[in-house]
Amino acid sequence: MRSHPDACPGAVELHQAADGGLARIRVPGGTLSAAQWDVVRLAALELGTGFLEFTSRANLQIRGLADGLELGARLRAAGLLPSATHERMRNIIAAPLESNQDLVDALDAALCADPVLASLPGRFLVTVGASVSGLGGDFGLVDDVLLLAGTDTGVRVDDPVDAVVTAAGLFQEMRGSAWRLSEVDGGVRKITEHFGAVDGPRITPAVTPVAPSPTTPGVPLGRLDAHQLPGVPVRLTPWRGLVVPPGTDTSGLITDPASPWHGVSACTGRPGCAKSLSDVRADARAWLGTPHSLPVHWSGCSRRCGRPQGDVIEFVATGDGYRRIAGTAGDEEIR
Ligand code: SF4
C-alpha cells in the first residue's frame, strides 16, 4: 500500500524539475480545436522552453515555467481547465480514430461534477474504446462492457457515463491510500458484485497503436517544437503522436512506419530531470538506426518513467552505461 499521496503535476500545481516548473495539461480524449492547440503552443513558446512534451496518456507537458498562474489563466480562458478541484484526475484516453469525443466530454463533465471524486489520485485513468482498452485503465469502456482494472469481469452497462461515475465513487470509497484499482484488495470483485456480471464470452483488452502516416504523425521522442503545426485542430494519441487533417505540413514528424524514429521513446533525462544518470535523448539519437523489432524505451534511471505498455526493449541508465531489458530475454549490461 502507498504511504504517500501521488505527486503527479497539474497545469497550475507544477512539479519543480531541474529545468524549472513542469505543467501537465490534461486533455481528456486528446481533442483540441485549432484555437485551443494554438493557446497551448503559444504558452510553451512564451512561458516555457518552447517545446511541448507528449505523454503516454495523450496529455501535454510544458517545462521551464516560472509558475502556473499565467498558464492556468490562459487554459481556463480556452476551456482547457474546466475544474480547479478535479484537474489532476481528468485522465481519459480515447481510441483516437473512433468517433467518441462526445462520450468523453460527457464522462469528463460528470466526473468533474461529483465533489467526492476531486480527491481521486492523479494516476486515475479511464479508457474509451477497444484500441486503448489494454492501456491499464482503472475503468474502461468498450461498447457496453465496463472493464475493471483492465479486465472484463462480465459487467455490462446501459449508461456508460453513470456507470463510470458510480464505479469511480466506489473506488474512492474503498481505496485508502491506493492509487490504482488494481492495488485495492478485492476492489475489482466488490465493484463487479455491485453491478452484477453476465455469463458469456469476455473481451480481451488490447492495445492497437496508430501507425504513422501523413494524417497520424508521430512526434520524435515525444517532444515537439511548439512553432510547428500552427492553427491546426489536433487529436493527441497515447503513442506520442497526433491525428491531423489531410494536407497538414508534418515536416520533421514521423509519417512513415519505416522511419528509424518509429517505436523509439525516452524519458526526460538530463538536463530536465535531476534524477537522471545520463542524457538519454542524446544517447537515443546516437543509437538511432540500430535495427529493432519491438518498441524501444530509454530511461535515465530505474524509475523508467514513460515506459510503454506491453513488450518493449528498454535501455536503463546505470551511471556507467545502460542496462538492456528485453521482455523475457533477461538483462544484459550495455556500456
Ligand atoms: S526515469 Fe528517472 S531520469 Fe527518467 S524522467 Fe523518470 S525519474 Fe527522471
**Which spans in the chain are helix H?**
34-47, 69-77, 101-112, 160-174, 187-195, 280-287
Distance 161 CA to ligand 1 centre (A): 35
User: Tell me, what's the pLDDT at 332?
Assistant: 45
Listed by start position, the domains of the chain span 1-81+213-253, 83-208, 263-335
User: Could you tell me the end-to-end alpha-carbon distance of the chain, in angstroms, rounded to an integer?
Assistant: 36
Sign of the four-CA dihedral 323, 217, 29, 164 = negative
pTM of the entire structure?
A: 0.92
Distance 298 CA to ligand 1 centre (A): 10
**Cβ neighbours of residue 3 under 8 Å, at least 6 residues apart?**
177
Average pLDDT along the chain:
93
306 within ligand 1 shell (Cβ under 6 A) = no
- For the chain, the C-alpha Rg in angstroms (whole number) is 20
The mean pLDDT of 63-75, rounded to a whole number, is 93
Residue appearing with cell numbers 534511471: 301
pLDDT digits (tens, 9 = 90+) for 138-152: 999 999 999 999 999
269 within ligand 1 shell (Cβ under 6 A) = yes
d(CA 294, CA 173): 40
State the closest ligand 1 atom to the C-alpha of 273, by its place in the atom list counted from 1: 8
288-25-305 Cα angle (round to 5): 40
Q: Please give the CATH number for the structural domain made up of 1-81+213-253.
A: 3.90.480.10
pLDDT at 47 over 90: yes
61 within ligand 1 shell (Cβ under 6 A) = no
